[in-house]
A and B are shown apart, each in its own frame.
Chain A
Amino acid sequence: MTERPRIGVVVFPGSNDDRDAAWALGALGAEPVVVWHADEQLPDVAGIVLPGGFSYGDYLRCGAIARLSPAMRAVAEFAAEGGPVLGICNGFQILCEARLLPGVLRPNASRRFVCRDVALRVERTDIPLMSRCLTGQRLVIPIKHGEGCWFVDEAALERVAELDQVVLRYDGKNPNGSVGGVAGVCNPEGNVLGLMPHPEHAVDPLLGSGDGALILASLVDAAREHHGSLAATL
């Protein structure tokens, strides 16, 4: 079992939070590895982060171009094999565009970019990417997005509820008008998680909150476990 699991941070042209995510992962015991958007194969990694930013400028719908990138094809394969994947903000948008997660992200109801701390309620802790959190726990983590209004139609929402895919909800005021106050969802298998809040900006109380470290440390644990399970099958 690796002491410091290698976690890939995919860098698209226009990614902004890639360095912050890598720094936070390093501080939480992982070895961050840069994955270039044009790479067709992932390096030897046991987890993936799709960071925040404006991939390819996002002049089209957010994430619509990034989902077509060679690296995303490799990420989809990695996810299909059960590898843990965390998409933050733009990463969440890309995962939805790539159909790895349900729903779409629309412009905020306010039609404005918003950057502020929000309170979140943890809905699920039985997936590896949330293992360090407690169900019902209140986390304070900042958001910063112009298109974070998660939307699904009623039929899809029923399915999301059936499969228990809602992982995080805004606690109190909904900052973007998302359906059901959803802030983060996972795939049915539970190894792919997307969320609008930025845990990488909340890993140190000096930055205002350390709550984001719970989510990123869960990813580090999950990557360590995934690496272990791969080693065991070899």
Chain B
Amino acid sequence: MLQGPGENAGVIDLGAGEAVAFKVESHNHPSAVEPFQGAATGVGGILRDIVAMGARPIALLDGLRFGRPGWAFDRAVAGIGHYGNCVGVPTVGGEAVFDEAYEQNCLVNAMCVGLLPAQRVTRARASGPGNLVVLFGSTTGRDGIGGASVLASHELAEDDEDKRPTVQIGDPFTGKKLIEVSLDLVERGLVESLQDCGAAGLASSLAEMARDGAGIDVHLDRVPLREDDLEPWEVMISESQERMVAVVRPQMLAAVEAVCARWELRCTVVGDVTDTGELRAFHDDELVGAIPARLLTDECPRYEVERRPRSARARPRDERPLRQRLADPNGRSRRWIYEQYDHLVGSRTIRRPGLDAAVVRLRPSLRGLAVSLDGPPVGERDPFRAGAVAVLGAARNVACAGGEPLALTDCLNFGNPEKPEVAWELAEAIEGIAQAAEALGIPVVSGNVSLYNETDGRAIPPTPVVGCVGLVPDVRSTPSRWREGDVLLLAAAPGELELAAEAALVRFLWKAAPLLSLAHDVGHGGIDAALAEAALWSGIGAEIELPPGEPCGGAALLACDPGDVTRLGTRGLTRLGVVGGNSILGLPLDELRAAWEGEP
């Protein structure tokens, strides 16, 4: 691990001089008020977090939870496509879950994965008194004022249309230029540190930069404005998009300005680094605000909130016939969603979206990264289980694509934590994530918390959404499709959420992957649904004998050449059947495909 929590994103060493930076972040409240721009700027924000680490973004994933398919969901998908497609970063995966519990409070979680040389991790911390603080990118306006404070820190209610002005507007073209300029600056060694201007605007980005004794003086009258009557406090907290802050040594300024000019991007010296440890704001040389930066960061007020357990009743299993479950918005193919995203730009996408994890190649080598983003099943109310199951699902997805899970990132979506029951859910979910991660032996390197996801006093269910990144040693042996004559097996972890057994299953899966033509996580829909998905994905049916009962813990389907079965070992494996024919479980594939594909 090269960088853990506390920076813009976590960074993991991949060996061979390469490192991967990644993080998931929420944009729930803005998306609830205005889904297109809310989702678009969610993508823009997470991209800048990765770029601030000096990494080139190579993959995006999105976790979407909505009440139902329909206008709001379509607009969020369009917003994600608008931004991701336009900036040229492939959107390769994620989840789309529909449940009426998210009707008033949709979840839009965006994850970005970036690649950088291992010895060049860029950080946000300012250093070197006398160095310049340079703001580059878009101008600053009134859009997004109060985005973090008004919108994200309160429950939603009936009059939320009034809050539309607090939602930022995305400009992916400037976002694209910002990415190219930032990476150019880092590659040329022109900046000491980089920071995204995100929630709470300059106030939070400068406070986060002014740490460890360094201070920052900012001159708000020097900030280029979109409208000229902004108050200093508005300049300080505006969340206008597509802006970044860099610390630049004075002798490098001309070179920085030249890079920005080449990309026709505005850049302005707005302040300098001091040794006061204070964040001081000036307007026309008059001091208009000062605070020790540590009070906004490491020493900010902490709350010990009361926790009260609440009983959680699990929703009964969906017992409808397979065809109906496959046609359900939660059971059907996500093709109609991911086909609206460019998932190929970069020419790295070895395993495309649609099944478990995608794999992107680390060109020019044959190594690859398997990436997934996964949350708890619909109706899961037990927060510990939700956290653990999300971690294990994300890791299993990566392992099914042949990746050895390396690290996790998490987005904690919860209700109002001032309520003891929600505070308890939050603590329990964190414990579930922590224990599952420990069982897997991998770190959680970054993440984000989204609270107050409730409307009129009704909170969303505990929804920790977990991203996992894994290393595929050779993309040529990525499991892809099952083939005629392959033997089908079921690998299941014994017991109900026995973490050691779950971790052993994950380990078995990625180690076995090079021998497998296909591996597919059984997930929340059951063995029959997983078999149907794998058959439709592969375009060929199978002769199956279902085992009695469903596994209580994690499980995966495996397909391999009959000659390789003995090399897998037999412990914990159940033989399900043989690949062949045009039907599965007695249902013709074309009939199932008609139910499974197309839009809900």
Q: Could you say which residues of chain A place their CB within 8 Å of the CB of B85?
A: 54, 113, 144, 146
Stretch at the interface among B309-317, B324-332, B338-346: B338-346
Residue from the set B88, B340, B341, B476 with the largest chain A CB neighbour count within 10 Å: B88
B172: Cβ under 8 A from any A Cβ: yes
Q: Could you say which residues of chain B place their CB within 8 Å of the CB of A57?
A: 86, 171-174, 176
**Quick one: given A14-B86, A56-B173, are A115 and B264 in contact (CB under 8 Å)?**
no
Q: How far is the CA of A14 from the CA of B86 in the complex (A)?
A: 7
Q: A59's closest neighbor in chain B, by CB? A: B173
Stretch at the interface among B223-231, B347-355, B399-407: B347-355
A23: Cβ under 8 A from any B Cβ: yes
**Quick one: given A14-B173, A114-B339, A206-B476, are A144 and B344 in contact (CB under 8 Å)?**
yes
B305 to chain A, nearest CB (A): 44
**B interface, size bucket:** 20 to 34
Q: Is the CB of B340 within 8 A of A206?
A: no
B508: Cβ under 8 A from any A Cβ: no
Partner of B340, one of A56, A112, A201, A207: A112
Q: A57's closest neighbor in chain B, by CB? A: B173
**Quick one: given A13-B176, A56-B173, A206-B361, are A201 and B344 in contact (CB under 8 Å)?**
yes
Residue from the set A13, A54, A206 with the largest chain B CB neighbour count within 10 Å: A206
Q: B342's closest neighbor in chain A, by CB? A: A144
B475: Cβ under 8 A from any A Cβ: yes
B233: Cβ under 8 A from any A Cβ: no
Q: How far is the CA of A51 from the CA of B475 in the complex (A)?
A: 27
Q: Could you say which residues of chain B place their CB within 8 Å of the CB of A208?
A: 352
Q: How far is the CA of A19 from the CA of B345 in the complex (A)?
A: 10
Q: Could you say which residues of chain A place their CB within 8 Å of the CB of B86?
A: 14, 54, 57-58
Residue from the set B338, B345, B363 with the largest chain A CB neighbour count within 10 Å: B345
B81: Cβ under 8 A from any A Cβ: yes
B87: Cβ under 8 A from any A Cβ: yes
Main secondary structure of the interface of A (DSSP, over half): mixed
**Quick one: given A113-B340, A115-B344, A142-B344, are A23 and B350 in contact (CB under 8 Å)?**
no
Contact with B along A83-104 (1 / 0, CB 8 A): 0000000000000000000000
Contact with B along A16-53 (1 / 0, CB 8 A): 11011001100000000000000000000000000011
Q: Is the CB of A114 within 8 A of B340?
A: yes
Q: Is the CB of A23 within 8 A of B177?
A: no
Within 8 A of A (CB), among B358-373: 361, 363
Q: How far is the CA of A207 from the CA of B349 in the complex (A)?
A: 6
Q: Is the CB of A17 within 8 A of B88?
A: yes
B593 to chain A, nearest CB (A): 15
Q: How far is the CA of A24 from the CA of B363 in the complex (A)?
A: 12
Q: Is the CB of A20 within 8 A of B346?
A: yes
Q: Is the CB of B347 within 8 A of A207?
A: yes
Q: How far is the CA of A145 from the CA of B177 in the complex (A)?
A: 20
A116: Cβ under 8 A from any B Cβ: yes
Q: Is the CB of B341 within 8 A of A113?
A: yes
Q: Is the CB of A113 within 8 A of B342?
A: yes
Q: A19's closest neighbor in chain B, by CB? A: B346
**Quick one: given A20-B345, A20-B347, A23-B347, are A14 and B176 in contact (CB under 8 Å)?**
yes
Q: Is the CB of B176 within 8 A of A17?
A: no
A198: Cβ under 8 A from any B Cβ: yes
Q: Is the CB of B88 within 8 A of A16?
A: yes
A69 to chain B, nearest CB (A): 12
Contact with B along A58-97 (1 / 0, CB 8 A): 1100000000000000000000000000000000000000
Q: A175's closest neighbor in chain B, by CB? A: B339
A200: Cβ under 8 A from any B Cβ: yes
Q: Is the CB of A116 within 8 A of B339?
A: yes
Q: How far is the CA of A16 from the CA of B476 in the complex (A)?
A: 26
Partner of A207, one of B78, B177, B350: B350
Within 8 A of B (CB), among A181-198: 198
Q: Could you say which residues of chain B place their CB within 8 Å of the CB of A113?
A: 81, 85, 340-342
Q: Could you say which residues of chain B place their CB within 8 Å of the CB of A201?
A: 344-345, 347
Q: Is the CB of B345 within 8 A of A17?
A: yes
Q: How far is the CA of A46 from the CA of B166 in the complex (A)?
A: 52
Q: B364's closest neighbor in chain A, by CB? A: A23
Q: Could you say which residues of chain A place their CB within 8 Å of the CB of B363?
A: 23
B586 to chain A, nearest CB (A): 30
B465 to chain A, nearest CB (A): 24
Q: How far is the CA of A198 from the CA of B85 in the complex (A)?
A: 14
Contact with B along A102-122 (1 / 0, CB 8 A): 000000000011111000000
Q: Could you say which residues of chain A place their CB within 8 Å of the CB of B174?
A: 57
Q: Is the CB of B344 within 8 A of A13?
A: no
Q: How far is the CA of A121 from the CA of B174 in the complex (A)?
A: 38
Q: How far is the CA of A44 from the CA of B78 in the complex (A)?
A: 41
Q: Could you say which residues of chain B place their CB within 8 Å of the CB of A56?
A: 173
Q: How far is the CA of A52 from the CA of B345 in the complex (A)?
A: 9
Q: How far is the CA of A146 from the CA of B264 in the complex (A)?
A: 26
9 of the cross-chain contacts (CB-CB < 8 Å) are A13-B263, A13-B264, A14-B176, A16-B342, A23-B347, A24-B347, A114-B339, A115-B338, A201-B345
Residues of B bordering A, CB below 8 Å: 78, 81, 85-88, 171-174, 176-177, 180, 263-264, 338-347, 349-350, 352, 361, 363, 475-476
Given contacts A13-B264, A58-B86, A115-B344, 11 further A-B contacts (CB under 8 A): A14-B173, A16-B87, A17-B88, A19-B346, A113-B85, A113-B341, A115-B342, A144-B85, A200-B347, A204-B347, A206-B361
Q: Which 7 A-B pairs have the closest CB atoms?
A: A57-B173, A16-B88, A20-B347, A144-B342, A201-B344, A54-B86, A113-B340
